Structure 1
Amino acid sequence: MDRKIRAFLAIVEEGTLTAAAERVALAQPSLTKLLKRLEAELGAPLFERLPRGVVLTPFGERFHERARRIEAEYRFAVEELRALKNGHLPVLNIGAGPLYHMLHIPIVCEALTREFPRTRLNVVAAINRVTMPMLARGELDVVCGELSPEEQIYGVDSIPLMEAEQGIIMRRGHRLADAPMDADHLAGETWVLFQHDDRVLRALERFMGAGRHAFTVAVTTSSHATGLRIVSGSDYLMLGPAQLAPVIEEAGLLVRRPITPIRRFETGVSLRHSARSIPIVARLVELVAASTARQTEHLGVPMP
């Protein structure tokens, strides 16, 4: 890829010329020279110099959109050619949200390691806020989890597979185990939330009447397993995909569906368009689709 564009993107992401120079392994004067050449070619200043760094000018913001696409297309081309030359991927990097990494990905990995023994699988378990930027940067090949219109990325395709909804997780014997799951009965309860997902918190706030029924969030955790352990030893409640009921019930916990849904969301596979023709990626999509279809049929959850 053009060195000037690579330098430009490094400056945008790092915010200072010093940090950007280190990132692209150049002396700062050399980086500055590349930037000046790029600005001369475009005929416009791309950055405004500040005492503690740089910010994009309106010209720079517009060019940034195009530069990111140029960089993405370059990565896609490299990916396609390497897969074509080698006939396989040395490593397949998979991102997965809790519903997928706890229920579907273990089954998929077992099949892929048997069918593609020369490829090592690397699974990153996290929410979209973590995995989608990694997919955009080329650090992940596919992401299995929530599909969100606001997280659309250039060159990334989304394949809808199943609809999920938030359920309420509690320990067996909890005083609310047989109670209606509505805001009146859940008022005053204490919650554990998985990661720092503002969408889930906002949905819970709406469900609780936007302030009419008080509740407390005591713990946020990046580990779904940690959240379940906390709930199992306390009277705390936790939000999690209701479709995870088989795994959660194996841990001795209950999953209750609220009378009025707290949050429904579409889930599936996100992957770079350039990766769709790679055999192991295409097979992963097939396996995940088959696994989610079995669960949908078993639970009677409507497809989106």
Structure 2
Amino acid sequence: MKLHHLRDFIAIAETRSIRGASRRLGLTQPSLTRSLRELEAELGTPLLERHARGVVPTPIGEAFLRRTHAAMEEIRRAQEEVGQLRGRQTGAVAVGLSGATWLGLVPGVFPAFRKSHPGVRLHMVEGFFPALEGRLADGTLDFYIGPRPERIDADHYSVELLFENERLVAGRKGHPRRNARQLAELVDAEWILTGAREPLEREFADVFARYGLTPPVAMVQAESMIGVAALLSMTDALALLPRQWVESPLFSSVVEVIPIAERIDSADIVRIARAGLPLTPAAAHLATLFERAAGHYTHQRGRPATPR
């Protein structure tokens, strides 16, 4: 089994056709067909099969695709690491970031990384860990920063705490409930369902139940920052938002905090990476910049940094 066998198999599986893989790799279709047959012969089993929607992996092919994709990503990282250790500005870093991370930490991290690594391509993806775990597992992403998931496989991932977080009640500028000082005064308001942990309804209800209140029924769910900002700015609905959202210029220009007395905790912000696999020098430097930004952010809030 050679590297070109793995490369060709991945291309065929991802493009769902020999023709698509041929265009992607710049190779002839007969050579790709031959490569696939050699790989299947060595493994002793079919990896792909034809369907109406194109060529798709068999169940064994799906498992093999996950492994080969991760292996090829590690080989790419190894090549980039050698170049970076030799002082070359090369390669790429890909990270998954939650909305709170984008708004609270990226503004300080991005210019520092571009200054220190101008030749390294940076790919940042928005999302929560459950949606991005597959891309972290197969090596597409170097690491993730965002709310700690309720469940995580400690054998496969390392988790580093950056800071504890909280949520605030937010509504549009001049909201009719802006003078409320207790959560109980907002139970009968219209709420937009947001959150970081599934099911969102339970996470939302737990906030009110903690203070002995009957949870309101949120009839609207929004899963994008822009969608939440638009709904809040144009209606009298309220939402529980991470502090970083409300403090960012994107939101602070259209919404305001309703300063209730109760503290509403949110999931800790953590960095998650694959266990046992070192980051490239460029990715490690980016991780360090995020750690420094988290420490600075915590200090600005007047709270001591949380020990890791």
The answer to whether TM tops 0.5 is: yes
Give the whole-Å Cα distance in 2 for the aligned partners of 1:32 and 1:123.
Answer: 32
How far apart are the structure 2 equivalents of 1:258 and 1:301? 21
Gaps of 5+ in 2: none
> What's the CA shift string for 1:235-287, capped at 9, x where partnerless?
122342134443368435116679585x7323233457776351x54443333
Question: What's the counterpart of residue 287 of structure 1?
Answer: 289
State the one-letter code of the partner of 1:199: E
The percentage of aligned residue pairs carrying the same residue is 24
| 2:25 paired with 1:24 | yes
TM-score (norm 1): 0.72
What is the CA-CA distance between 1:68 and the residue it aligns to?
2.5
Flag the 1:110–1:36 CA change in 2: closer, same or farther, 3 A: closer
Matched residue type, 1:216: M
Aligned partner of 2:198: which letter?
R
SS of the residue 1:199 aligns to: coil
Q: d(CA) in 1 for partners of 2:123 and 2:280?
A: 20
Mapped partners of 2:21, 2:153: distance in 1: 27
Query: Would the alpha carbon gap of residues 124 and 58 (structure 1) be closer, same or farther in structure 2, given more than 3 Å must change?
Result: closer
Structural mapping, 1:80-159, within 5 Å: 80-89=81-90, 95-113=96-114, 116=116, 118-119=118-119, 122=122, 124=124, 126-128=126-128, 143-148=144-149, 158-159=159-160
Residue-pair matches, total: 295
Contact 2:181–2:260 at 8 Å: present in 1 too? no
**SS of structure 2 residue aligned to 1:45:** coil
Alignment-derived partner of residue 253 in structure 1: 256
Give the CA deviation at 1:135: 5.9
Find the counterpart in structure 1 of residue 172 from structure 2.
171
Distance 1:215 1:148, change over 3 A: closer
Distance 1:165-1:200 versus aligned 2 partners, 3 A rule? farther
Question: What whole-Å deviation, never above 9, does each CA across 1:113-139 have from its counterpart, x for those lacking one?
Answer: 55x274467463622467666666777
Specify the code of the residue in structure 2 equivalent to 1:295.
Y
| 1:40, distance to aligned residue in structure 2 (A) | 0.5
CA distance in 2, matches of 1:229, 1:245: 13
TM-score, length-scaled by structure 2: 0.71
Unmatched segments (≥5 aa) in structure 1 = none
Query: Against the structure 1 CA distance between its residues 200 and 82, is the aligned structure 2 distance closer, same or farther, given a 3 Å change threshold?
Result: farther
8 Å contact from structure 2 (residues 182, 260) kept in 1: no
Q: Which amino acid aligns with 1:79?
A: E
Match of 1:52 in 2: 53
Instruction: Report the equivalent of 2:198.
Output: 199
CA distance in 2, matches of 1:288, 1:264: 19
Q: 1:108 to 1:200 in 2, by over 3 A?
A: farther
Q: After superposition, where does 1:213-292 map in structure 2 within 5 Å?
A: 213-217=216-220, 220-221=223-224, 224=225, 227-247=228-248, 250-251=252-253, 253-254=256-257, 261=264, 264-270=266-272, 276=279, 278=281, 280-292=282-294
Q: Output the CA distance in 2 between the equivalents of 1:136 and 1:47.
A: 22
Give the secondary structure class of the aligned counterpart of 2:86. helix
* Cα deviations by residue, 1:27-75 (Å, 9 ceiling, x for unpaired): 4333222211111011112233323324433432342343233212212
CA distance in 2, matches of 1:292, 1:255: 25
Whether the 8 Å contact between 2:189 and 2:237 is mirrored in structure 1 is no
Residues 87, 165 of structure 1: alpha-carbon distance in 2 compared, 3 angstrom cutoff: same
3-state SS, counterpart of residue 175 of structure 2: coil
Across the aligned residues of Structure 1 and Structure 2, the Cα RMSD in angstroms comes to 4.2
Structure 1 counterpart SS, 2:269: strand
